[in-house]
Amino acid sequence: MRSFVPCVGLIVLVGCLTLVIAPEPLGDFPHRTIASAHRLPVIVIDPGHGGNDEGAKSNGIMEKNETLDVARRLNVLLRSYNLPTLMTRDSDHYVSLADRVDIANRLEDALFVSIHFNDSRSRSVEGVETYYSEQKVPPQQEWTWIGLFYDSSSPRDESEALAGYVQVALVSKTNTQDRGIKSRRLYVTRNTRCPSVLVEAGFLSNSMERALLNNGDYRERLAGGIASGIIEFIKSRPQYGAPVFASVDSPSPPSP
């Protein structure tokens, strides 16, 4: 009987070492450098919707614009702490869900945070909530480095923990109603291989939250809350050098 050895292509990923000079932080956010002996994850920031996909709309406010504004603020904040970031879009254009997921899945170590705003038929509904997926879609094919045996093992997903940190910090920084963390089979959280969350940062259908979103300081608070949650999550994880992070404060929002 003829023996068969599968032919497996060897893909070599060459990482680029990038020196990032942190920009000045926005508002009254203090600047502290986060140092770690370990490689830090790339924070993939995903502003929901874009282009011809406007998202929720209410009284002239479009979700796609609000998500992009908060995402840009979050990007500046995280970079001011020397955390590597990557945005799925940085302008008003459409990016498919599959492309958003692919951006994250091409990275060896990442965290994925998608930013959205809610809508409801009931105008009284308010608050923030953070979604995660309990179970990821497994990759179609994974091989060990020798290419002969299928590797069914995968690291424990920590999306629920990331959602918890982001939700607590977001509520704390904004004094918004806490709608909790929820598990839902959303495309971007279920198909990304890294810890992933989707933040619903308020209801455009609620007049009070819609008015708050017209204020740049409040959008800064939203970004600050998400940033704080991400940093607290990273600080809690030994693979990112928790002892080094222990003395680093999370971002605080400017006083109202």
**Half-sphere exposure for 95 (CA within 13 Å, toward CB):** 20
Q: Residue 125: beta bridge partners?
A: none
Cα 177 to Cα 184: distance, rounded to the nearest angstrom: 20
Question: How many CB atoms sit inside 10 A of residue 246's CB?
Answer: 9
The pLDDT value recorded for residue 166 is: 98
Residue pair 22/81 in contact by the 8 Å Cβ criterion: yes
**Residue 131: in which H helix or E strand, if any?**
strand 128-132
Cα 26 to Cα 39: distance, rounded to the nearest angstrom: 26
The pTM for the full model equals 0.79
Residue 46: name the closest of 116, 108, 107, 105 by CA. 116
Q: Where are the domains of the chain?
A: 42-140+147-245
Domain at 42-140+147-245, CATH class: alpha beta
**Residue 78: in which H helix or E strand, if any?**
helix 63-80
What is the mean pLDDT for each group of 10 consecutive residues in the chain (256 residues)? 43 36 38 60 98 95 98 97 96 98 96 97 97 88 44 66 98 96 96 97 97 96 98 90 48 48
Question: How many CB atoms sit inside 10 A of residue 134's CB?
Answer: 12
Cα 167 to Cα 126: distance, rounded to the nearest angstrom: 15
The pLDDT value recorded for residue 34 is: 55
Cα 11 to Cα 36: distance, rounded to the nearest angstrom: 28
Cα 22 to Cα 20: distance, rounded to the nearest angstrom: 6
The pLDDT value recorded for residue 238 is: 84
Residue 230: name the closest of 97, 71, 95 by CA. 71
The pLDDT value recorded for residue 54 is: 97
For the chain, the three-class secondary structure string (H helix, E strand, C coil) is: CCCCCCCCCCCCCCCCCCCCCCCCCCCCCCCCCCCCCCCCCEEEEEECCECCECCCEECCEEHHHHHHHHHHHHHHHHHHCCCCEEECCCCCCCCCHHHHHHHHHCCCCEEEEEEEEECCCCCCCCCEEEEECCCCCCCCCCECCCCCCECCCCCCCCHHHHHHHHHHHHHHHHCCCEEEEEECCCHHHHHCCCCEEEEEEEECCCHHHHHHHCCHHHHHHHHHHHHHHHHHHHHCCHHHCHHHHCCCCCCCCCCC
